[in-house]
Amino acid sequence: MYILYGGDFTRAPLVQWVLEEGKIEYELRKIDILNGEHRTTEFLAINPAGLLPVLITPEGEALYEVAALMLYLADRHQLTELAPSSIDPDRGLFLSTVFHIAGDIQSEMKRFHFPHRFSLRRDDDDGIQDLAKSLVLSRLNVMNTRLAARGPYVLGSRFSLADFYLVFWTAYLDRRAACERFPLIARLYELVRSRPSATPYLEETERAADVYAEMMKKHPGGVIA
């Protein structure tokens, strides 16, 4: 059986959703990042990077990096309705999108949520957050253009986990502003959100994004150090 280490205000729901979609047996163990549980000796022994999510495989290996975890599960359990197989012609566009989200969108979301880690002066935090948001929006703009050429999903008429991945980060950014600005992202958002398996995860993500935004206002020096 798999063990998924996740918790509130983490990206673990992305992995949990794949596990649920694939009807794969797992146990969820919650780590409280707001109280620094990800920096305890116990957790660092599981993931020395001190980051979530972590997936323990049935063989006992501890894996991390959310995009890798989703791809690994989809490939290992042949969830080809979520991830085109390695010989499927859609695999290229699928991988290109997943790697783009992992490398260029998520990294800016880190700056958006943790601007204090990237600034030398507290006064710079707001600017760093604004810049991160505008970079994510410019990347969503590119996605919007791609969806205009081939939509409504990232792979055209075919849903994949890339759609859920993109929508998840849209929810964590500022979904209202993003959806107002980019009609094809808005359409994708609604299509994904209306999938019964995705609805509870996106509702929870929307709530978490709103709560986190409030916490950021109350703790301008950083919600998590």
Ligand X SMILES: N[C@@H](CCC(=O)N[C@@H](CS)C(=O)NCC(=O)O)C(=O)O
Binding site for ligand X (CB under 6 A): 10-11, 33, 38, 51-52, 64-66, 106, 110, 224
Closer Cβ to ligand X, 12 or 192, answer by number: 12
How far apart CA 162 and CA 117 sit, in angstroms, is 28
Q: How far is CA 175 from the centre of its chain?
A: 14
Q: Tokens representing 169?
A: 């980060």
**Complex with ligand X: residue 76 or 110, whichever CB lies closer:** 110
Q: How far is the CB of 151 from ligand X (least distance, A)?
A: 26
Q: Which is nearer to ligand X, 93 or 224 (CB)?
A: 224
Report, in Å, the least distance between residue 152 CB and ligand X.
26
Task: Select 38 or 133, whichever has its Cβ closest to ligand X.
Answer: 38
2 phi/psi in degrees, rounded to 5: -85, 155
End-to-end alpha carbon distance in the chain: 34
CB neighbour burial string for 34-73, b if at least 16 within 10 angstroms, e if fewer: eeeebeeeebeebbeeebbbbbbeeeeeebbbbbebbbbb
Q: In what order do the strands lie in the sheet with 54-56?
A: 26-30, 2-6, 54-56, 62-64
Least Å from the CB of residue 12 to ligand X: 7
Minimum CB separation from ligand X for residue 157, in Å?
28
Shortest separation between residue 62's beta carbon and ligand X, angstroms: 13
Beta carbon nearer to ligand X, 11 or 133: 11
DSSP state for residue 40 in the 8-state scheme: S
